Structure 1
Amino acid sequence: MDKKPTTRKGPHFCSLRYGLALIMHFSNFTMITQRVSLSIAIIAMVNSTQLRGPVNASIEDHWIDTLNNQSSSMKEVSTRASVYQWSPETQGIIFSSISYGIIMTLIPSGYLAGILGAKHMLGAGLLVSSLLTLFTPLAADLGVILVIVIRTVQGMAQGMAWTGQFTIWAKWAPPLERSKLTSIAGSGAAFGSFIILCVGGLISQALGWPFIFYIFGSIGCVCCLLWFTVIYDDPLNHPCISIREKEYIVSSLTQQSSSPRRSVPIKAMVRCLPLWAIFMGFFSHFWLCTIIITYLPTYINTVLHVNIRDSGVLSSLPFIAASSCTILGGQLADFLLSRNLLSLIAVRKLFSSLGLLLPSLCAVALPFVASSYMTTIILLILIPGTSNLCDSGFIINTLDVAPRYASFLMGISRGFGLIAGIISSTTTGFLISQDSESGWRNVFFLSAAVNMFGLIFYFTFGQAKIQDWAKERPLTRL
């Protein structure tokens, strides 16, 4: 493990690097709301198909009564919001298209961000995603194929934005503050999920479903203005940073590479077990997290027999815990490091263990407490909350083992996570289609087994020192 910098800390929460973390928090908030917005809006977009059948008879009666009592202006808004005849199979293709788009750009965008600079790469991804969000209602009117294309390109843009962040932190985050800064930035995704689930339905009801896309697309455009104005790739080039903070950041990173390499040592990476430990951690983590994000409303509705409106509110609660645990976990990890209470690898393995073991225990317990409403809700809240403790474990471990390739490796890591999400979603749908009760039990048991595999693998091979192939060699300078 590299020696800790002896330079005294500069300005803390008033410093520029924490301002950058807040802007990244806002950026992640924006991207996740743009990604999840269709999941909320599609309920109204295919409303005519949703209202068919005896199961929804009471809902239909209530809807008719509500329409009769609405003002004329509200009727005009509702009339302008189109309704589409999209089958469940078509909806599934639309939902999955953004994940395929993200996979397509995770690795190449991470590599290019390390060479060309993350500011423009990340900002461009955020801008494209925001503009496509604004264009989504018009695309829906023009045809479902265009919606699928829009979502795929939007996924490619967000893939660029997600991975470029770690290139910036490799140059901005002092080693003793990495967990804290990345957790502040990363918690924006959990907070965004909570907000869109809470207000998306209200926006659709009050203004019409297109305004979900208009509002969050516009927020993204505002975020782009902040991004291109405040964010810089390197603290050395930032016009507003104080001399004291600049010196602190630079001196704390003196033992790490400061210049990008033009070639990536692929063979060395493939043979590096510490990297594979990170990849397996991502695979395990995303397996269960994707199930919770995708199927949580379904589970609450089918197992707890909660109506749709309450199900949406309950589905948003776990993301409060997730956002809180991300920030608190980062604070605790940096506290343990700054006080020399634990070594860097001990901290990474501790939080990886908590983030994989605790949600597994909660998931295994769920089938046995299904009869208890309150206990089930508590466990469902704890699963994503405790899972996000991994943010201070293997999720930022690439900054320790290969900081100069952090963005490229983060792209690969998230690729493993997205593959796990696709497999776990498909497997979950198959298992619960066979038998609901035993299917959910098998889903949670399988998720716990996958988490335990990832935990054992990371515990065995995980490291926190810079690998030889990732160190700068003085003789390579031309």
Structure 2
Amino acid sequence: MESTSAYHSGRVGQRHALMVLAFLGCMFMYATRVGLSVSMVAMTKSTVKIVNLNSETNSSRIIVEVCPLLQTKPLKVSSNNGTVPSRDQNRKYDWDAKTQGLLHGAFFYGYLVSQIPGGWVAHKIGAKIPMAASMVIIGILTIISPFAADGGVWAFFVVRLLVGFFQGVVYPSITVLWSEWAPPKERGRLLSVSYSGLQLGTVMGMFLAGFLAQTYGWESIFYCFGVLLLAWVVPWMFLAYDSPSKHPRISEAEKEYIMASLNPDIELDNLGEAKPTDPPIKPQRTVPWLEIFKTIPVWALLISEFGYNWGFYVLLTNLPTYLNNILHFSLKSNGALSAMPYLSVDFLIGAFVGTGSALVGVAYAGCDATLAVALFAVGVGLSGGVYVGHFIMYTEMSPNYAGILIAMGNTVGTVTGIVAPYVVGVLTSGEGGQSVENWQTVFFIAAGMYGFITVVYGLFGTSVRQKWD
């Protein structure tokens, strides 16, 4: 039998297989979330008035309308503007900007209420079953989404709300899973790789959604992403386990390495179990709610979540609409260009400052499509630094209650998923609402949020483990 002394942290083991599964789960789950951003462009009728500089149009209207459409511009006009035929012209809905903002926010109503209960359930019964059940339900709801849209705004709203509710269980469950599986020295890497699936899921979702909508119709976005989620559940049920002690195929050396690193004061017998005289590995405790809410660094994280998610959700839900209505990209180009910012390299230092500054640049870029997309890429790429920054600080501050803390953070951040898309809808609705000036206001608000949380996070953020843990 291989001894722990012969085992080292660089060895590939079952925790790495779990990391791959968590990565793929996050990727497919997020694809279902961002798919609506592109499909909303394809499934709704457009009321945007395009200014053509080569037509007999009063040039003063350029100031209040969307960017002018030049015949020499090497861009295809979106199908919503009538020059590229849609696969199904009849299956489009008269949903104005406010209604679209409401439907984008529907997801977050459900996501908001399930965060903390999801973390609590995962702490009580383990993460495997809650994640599997949630993914199955999300997959089914995603597949039936086009039929819900035929039923009207509120039918579609309810389906999106339920998708959000069950996705809210997944995020804290992953954190709980790694509290049992991740040795402290590897925690940052294992969590970062797992959560990076969110970033790649955004890329895949945007790219694939644009292609599917243009080629097979917007309904195929929901069918494809729903099937991917259902397929993921199969290997998850066979390969994932709540802890090393429950895994039937893990090597004794890896099991002892993980459990000893998480609980350095215990001694394991030859079966990898704690000896009867040892204290429990994870003693059941009452969550120290009062101490948590009295901790200033926790509040710093919660405030950071609110500001970060405001900018993030503005881009995630509205970037395809901006590219379509203001810069006139086709559906296929729209999906690809919406995904490009999420391919940027992630940085920790300056994530908030860099993202805010880039959004200010976008506001001033106006109708310069190349500059706008480049600045989006810089801004979103820098924002990815949070996955190796303040997200991991939840686990560093409290390994025992990380699922609870990250559920709290997601709950606060999710409020912006409800408010931000609706605010964008209000700012860009009505006659002349889809204008460069109104979208500048959208980006300025998001940049201001990033500036504020930079100060708060810099002054009060910490990764020190708290006494109440």
**TM-score, normalized by length of structure 1?**
0.79
Q: Is the 8 A contact 1:171 1:235 kept in 2?
A: yes
Q: How many residues align?
A: 423
Q: Which runs of 5+ in 2 are unaligned?
A: 52-77, 266-279
- SS at the partner of 1:404? coil
Task: Give the match for residue 242 of structure 2.
Answer: 233
Q: Is the 8 A contact 2:111 2:168 kept in 1?
A: yes
- SS at the partner of 1:464? coil
Task: Give the match for residue 445 of structure 2.
Answer: 446
**Alignment pair present for 1:100 and 2:123:** no
Q: Is the 8 A contact 1:286 1:417 kept in 2?
A: yes
Task: Give the match for residue 387 of structure 1.
Answer: 383
Pick from 294, 312, 319: which aligns with 2:317? 294
**Alignment pair present for 1:24 and 2:22:** yes
Quote the Cα distance in structure 2 between the aligned partners of 1:370 and 1:8.
60
**Equivalent residue runs for 1:317-336 within 5 Å:** 317-321=340-344, 324-325=345-346
CA 1:82–1:249 in 2, change beyond 3 Å: closer, same or farther?
A: same
Q: Is the 8 A contact 1:51 1:57 kept in 2?
A: no
**What's the offset of the Cα at 1:450?**
2.2
Pick from 378, 390, 396: which aligns with 1:400? 396
Quote the Cα distance in structure 1 between the aligned partners of 2:50 and 2:296.
56
CA 1:318–1:13 in 2, change beyond 3 Å: closer, same or farther?
A: farther
**Alignment pair present for 1:248 and 2:257:** yes
Quote the Cα distance in structure 1 between the aligned partners of 2:196 and 2:80.
39
- SS at the partner of 1:12? coil
**Equivalent residue runs for 1:353-368 within 5 Å:** 353-368=349-364
Task: Give the match for residue 300 of structure 2.
Answer: 277
**What's the offset of the Cα at 1:225?**
1.0
Quote the Cα distance in structure 2 between the aligned partners of 1:466 and 1:171.
17
CA 1:452–1:13 in 2, change beyond 3 Å: closer, same or farther?
A: farther
Task: Give the match for residue 160 of structure 1.
Answer: 169
Quote the Cα distance in structure 2 between the aligned partners of 1:240 and 1:440.
54
Task: Give the match for residue 126 of structure 1.
Answer: 135
Quote the Cα distance in structure 2 between the aligned partners of 1:145 and 1:191.
31
AA aligned opposite 2:117: P
Quote the Cα distance in structure 1 between the aligned partners of 2:304 and 2:388.
12
Deviations 1:53-107 (A, max 9, x none): 888899546428xx8xxxxxxxxxx59x844454554443332211100001011
**What's the offset of the Cα at 1:139?**
2.9
Quote the Cα distance in structure 2 between the aligned partners of 1:115 and 1:361.
43
Q: Is the 8 A contact 2:39 2:213 kept in 1?
A: yes
Quote the Cα distance in structure 1 between the aligned partners of 2:84 and 2:46.
14
Quote the Cα distance in structure 2 between the aligned partners of 1:358 and 1:7.
44
**What's the offset of the Cα at 1:142?**
4.2
Identity %: 29
- SS at the partner of 1:239? coil
**What's the offset of the Cα at 1:369?**
4.2
**What's the offset of the Cα at 1:396?**
1.4
**What's the offset of the Cα at 1:413?**
0.2
Quote the Cα distance in structure 2 between the aligned partners of 1:83 and 1:447.
30
AA aligned opposite 1:420: T
Quote the Cα distance in structure 1 between the aligned partners of 2:457 and 2:303.
7
CA 1:235–1:186 in 2, change beyond 3 Å: closer, same or farther?
A: same
Pick from 369, 373, 376: which aligns with 1:377? 373
Quote the Cα distance in structure 2 between the aligned partners of 1:357 and 1:276.
20
Q: Is the 8 A contact 1:134 1:217 kept in 2?
A: yes
**TM-score, normalized by length of structure 2?**
0.81
Task: Give the match for residue 124 of structure 2.
Answer: 115
Task: Give the match for residue 197 of structure 2.
Answer: 188
**Equivalent residue runs for 1:307-318 within 5 Å:** 307-318=330-341
CA 1:13–1:361 in 2, change beyond 3 Å: closer, same or farther?
A: farther
Q: Is the 8 A contact 1:260 1:404 kept in 2?
A: no
Pick from 31, 37, 40: which aligns with 2:38? 40
Deviations 1:86-135 (A, max 9, x none): 45544433322111000010111111211121111122111110111122
Deviations 1:338-396 (A, max 9, x none): xxxxxxxxxxxxx3x42212212222233344465433322110111110111111111
AA aligned opposite 2:372: T
Q: Is the 8 A contact 1:115 1:262 kept in 2?
A: no
AA aligned opposite 2:291: A
CA 1:422–1:127 in 2, change beyond 3 Å: closer, same or farther?
A: same
Q: Which runs of 5+ in 1 are unaligned?
A: 1-5, 68-77, 330-350, 471-478
AA aligned opposite 2:260: S
**What's the offset of the Cα at 1:202?**
2.7
AA aligned opposite 2:241: Y
Question: Which is helix-richer, 1 or 2?
Answer: 1
Deviations 1:199-235 (A, max 9, x none): 2233234334333222221111110111111111111
- SS at the partner of 2:400? helix
AA aligned opposite 1:180: R
Which range moves more in the overlay, 170-179 or 397-406? 170-179
Pick from 54, 63, 83: which aligns with 2:85? 63
Q: Is the 8 A contact 2:43 2:92 kept in 1?
A: yes
AA aligned opposite 1:239: P
Task: Give the match for residue 336 of structure 1.
Answer: none
Quote the Cα distance in structure 1 between the aligned partners of 2:99 and 2:324.
22
**What's the offset of the Cα at 1:21?**
1.2
